[in-house]
Amino acid sequence: MKIAIVSYKKQEKFTQGVTNDEDADLLRFLREKGLNAFPTIWNDENVDWKSFHVAIIKSPWDYHNHLPQFLNWLDTLEKLNIKVLNPVEIIKWNSHKKYLKDISNNGLPVISSEYLDKGSSFDSRFFDLFGTDKLVVKPCVSAGAQNTITVNKSNLNERTQEIEQLLKTEDYIVQPFVEEIKNGEWSFLFFNSKYSHCTLKTPKKDDFRVQHYHGGSISYPTPTSLHIEQAGQYVKSLPQSTLYARVDGVIIDNTFKLMELELIEPYLFLNGDNNLLENYFQALMALVS
């Protein structure tokens, strides 16, 4: 069984502040377990995909900048009868933030969201709609806080012009700014629906972006069993088993509330820890054996 560990053409902005080369750690561990695993780049024309039996979509961190090409490539893998993890149907669904509406419709707690289709207009109605003085507006296809904008009533006119320009090219999602993000964003990691570990990403002072390349910090607190169970409900709601799922959100009134369900290319915070790598390996074996 030949396994592709799929990544992207490296860009420093995505790896800055990451202490471990997670892909290298994972590749080493899987090979030590006797697996025939190889690093690949999803849009490398020199890769002979027909030679692979399994493709693990690990870190194609630029997919959102090339979405049609990325989705076509996934279709190609399926036509070649390659087992794709996570499943192609799940990845396609997860690639546009309207998936949050589906999760909310299933009765699970999600940060309130409204959508602006490409070519539509943004205005002040969302302040009243959400009962808030501050909004977050971001692309429906994005990663790493790209083109994420905060809007309040004092900068509304300026931000509206900026957002209207962006709406000419893609869909956007509008959400109330959640003050709890200043306490950190929790990430719960599940492998084949089984809880593995969690992290807490905290933004730097006077910022809301928790990503390490925006100055965010990472800690590893022990979560409560209640919050693990709550986070696990989002994974259980999926129609197919996934090799990995990162459930990102905030704790509001002791209840976990979803911000993002990361099923395409999340950093997994494995940190070279053999116990966590073993969790990943066991999940992989259960899905490919």
- What lies within 8 Å, CB to CB, of 67 at 6+ separation is 95, 141
How distant, in Å, are the alpha carbons of 8, 46, 73, 78 from that of 50?
19, 12, 13, 11
Closest-CA residue to 65 (of 142, 164, 167) = 142
- Domains of the chain with CATH codes: 2-94 (3.40.50.20), 99-109+180-269 (3.30.470.20), 114-177 (3.30.1490)
How distant, in Å, are the alpha carbons of 191, 222, 245 from that of 64?
23, 32, 18
- Is pLDDT of 14 > 70? no
Selected residue with higher pLDDT from 215 and 270 = 270
- Is pLDDT of 25 > 90? yes
| 155/132 Cα distance (integer angstroms) | 14
| 119/96 Cα distance (integer angstroms) | 17
pLDDT score of 72: 97
pLDDT score of 19: 59
- Is pLDDT of 112 > 90? yes
pLDDT, one tens digit per residue, over 68-106 is 999 999 999 999 999 999 999 999 999 999 999 999 999
- Average per-residue pLDDT in the chain? 92
pLDDT score of 13: 45
Is the C-alpha dihedral spanning 18, 197, 31, 72 positive or negative?
Answer: negative
At 214 the three-state DSSP class reads helix
Residue with tokens 């994420």: 148
Average pLDDT on 174-186 reads 91
Phi, psi at 190, each rounded to 5°? -125, 135
- Is pLDDT of 284 > 50? yes
Average pLDDT on 128-139 reads 95
- What lies within 8 Å, CB to CB, of 51 at 6+ separation is 2
Phi, psi at 110, each rounded to 5°? -135, 145
- Is pLDDT of 2 > 50? yes
pLDDT score of 180: 87
289 pLDDT band (50/70/90 cuts)? confident
